Amino acid sequence: MCTLRHFRGRTILTIMAALLALAGCAPRATEGPQPAPPAAAPAPALVLAAPEGVELPPLDGVPVLRTADPAGALKRGEASAAVVDGPVPPDLASFPLRTEAHVILQGWLDEPMALTQAEAEALLPTLGPPGEPAEGALAAGRLDDLRPGWRAVPVNGVAPTPQSVGSGEYPLAERLAVAYRPDQAGLVEPLRAVLQAEGGAPEWASLAVTGDFMLARGVARAMRENGTLYPIEKVRNHLSAADLAFANLESPIGVKGSPLPGKQIWFQAAPEAIELLTAAGLDGVTVANNHIMDYDEESFLETLDMLQQAGIPWTGGGRNLAEARRPLVLEARGVRIAFLGYSEFADLFFSWDYPRSFAANDDRPGVPAIREDWLAEDIRQAREAADVVAVALHWGVEFVNYPTAEQQRLARYMVDQGADLVLGYHPHAIQGFELYKGKLIAYSLGNFIMDRQETDLARESMILDFLVGPDGVRQVEVRPVWIHAEQPYLMEGDEAAQLRAKMQEISGW
């Protein structure tokens, strides 16, 4: 009996083991090598197709396929997204990238052109890319090609800027979009995040710069007879339309002080003259000149106080040397412009009995002299605070149209130190321009609001209209101005062409 039960127990165990093996439940030690599970399908790669000329931000890990037919590459499966211009096919999804403008450029001192859209579209294919600007040159490019020496030609009365292009107001523009298949929206989403994080193109600020504002003597008489704002009536709208406006304040304002002994020519404007500066839309002035302290230190400090009360900041003067050398930083549309001011005549005095010069020192008010070590240090510091550095200088010889060799040397030195603009004052005459290392030097802007216009030299003037971006000066346009009876006005037609021709001659253009 015992032997039979033992046999039956082993038999049952053997049968159970066989059944487990058939069911795949046998111990793994008895199994042979198993095949590897099949590999997962690779995720589709993100590839962007784009035309050759379109600039893109860094796209880490995203290959860019440069092709003349991005949309075709997308349809053929060579790319998962494509930069396209014009309408996006209805079977594709898209998001906006940016707008590319076609710009016709001309030499900046040439007689300004203006084109209709049809004229511009016919001219564009005949033009090559911009090289070095020269008289009579025409070129086709983009907004990024604009720089001093080139001027953008308005089309249908609209000048191309990031603002006018982005708004659709400028007609010669192509709107770029990134197209993709709707089923790949998830794949393209990281690309959208990167491209749209770049935002639109930075805006450009407009800056209008004029010559001397002298508000005493004959100008004061004209203001009494015709109203305080008479001198700026014909230019007020133009100056106020600029984002920023800057000038040289050639006369102190107020009632305090007494004339410096021995100086012979003294200017002091009445207190109401401050209204004219405000109405002109001036956002800043330089006071570094040879008249701002005509009525001595008390008058100078009164002028600074009146400017401060009117909300008009200044450079080129101060209650001590540190303040006088401090840059004036103005900002518009996110663009920062730093202005510095210096006078060649700061160290002059006019009487040995009272040897008071205009020069500021550590504890005395005044204006800074033109010293190369100060220029280098101040320009370097201004560069750290702003996108563009402009240096205003009171210098040179009166009533001549050409700068001296020393002015040319100093102007180039300032550019070498980092200045973007050199703005000259004092000669009571316009002087030539120079483009040096891509930067503009205007040796003298001439008079602007000034009396005693007995000669054409004293009547000739200008407004310089700049377009300035975070990456520097993009364009300068010269507006010829004539002064008649203490009142400047913008010249037009043949009159403007004649003065512009003179500017070309004295600039060697």
Give residue 14's pLDDT band: very low, low, confident or very high (50, 70, 90). Answer: very low
pLDDT greater than 60 at residue 492: yes
Is 14 strand, coil or helix? helix
Is 223 strand, coil or helix? helix
Instruction: Write down the pLDDT at residue 45.
Output: 81
Give the pLDDT confidence of 435-448 residue by residue, as tens digits. Answer: 999 999 999 999 99
Q: How far apart are CA 341 and CA 325, in angstroms?
A: 7
Q: How far apart are CA 461 and CA 211, in angstroms?
A: 7
Give the pLDDT confidence of 32-52 residue by residue, as tens digits. Answer: 555 655 544 444 689 999 998
pLDDT greater than 70 at residue 59: yes
Contacts of 420 (CB under 8 A, 6+ apart): 388, 389, 390, 439, 440, 472, 473
Q: How far apart are CA 330 and CA 282, in angstroms?
A: 11
pLDDT greater than 70 at residue 421: yes
pLDDT greater than 60 at residue 8: no
Please report the domains of the chain, with CATH numbers, ordered by start residue: 103-171 (no CATH), 205-507 (3.60.21.10)
pLDDT greater than 50 at residue 21: no
**Mean pLDDT to the nearest integer, 379-385:** 97
Least confident of 89-93, 462-466, 504-508: 89-93
- Using a 10 angstrom Cβ sphere, with 0-12 exposed, 13-18 middle and 19 or more buried, the burial of residue 132 is exposed
Q: How far apart are CA 346 and CA 286, in angstroms?
A: 14
**Mean pLDDT to the nearest integer, 178-204:** 86
Cβ proximity of 445 and 425 under 8 Å? yes
pLDDT greater than 50 at residue 16: no
Instruction: Work out the mean pLDDT of the chain and round it to a whole number.
Output: 91
Strand ranges in 203-269 using DSSP code E only, listed in sequence order: 205-213, 244-249
Instruction: Write down the pLDDT at residue 311.
Output: 97
pTM for this prediction: 0.85
**Mean pLDDT to the nearest integer, 408-433:** 98
* DSSP H or E stretch at residue 103: strand 103-107
Query: Angle, nearest 10°, between helix axes 372-385 and 405-417?
Result: 40
Give residue 459's pLDDT band: very low, low, confident or very high (50, 70, 90). Answer: very high
Cβ proximity of 445 and 430 under 8 Å? yes
pLDDT greater than 90 at residue 198: no
Cβ proximity of 395 and 411 under 8 Å? no
Is 364 strand, coil or helix? strand
Cβ proximity of 267 and 304 under 8 Å? no
Contacts of 29 (CB under 8 A, 6+ apart): none
Give the dihedral sign, CA 20/22/23/26: positive
Contacts of 257 (CB under 8 A, 6+ apart): 268, 295, 296, 297, 298, 299, 300, 302
pLDDT greater than 60 at residue 29: no
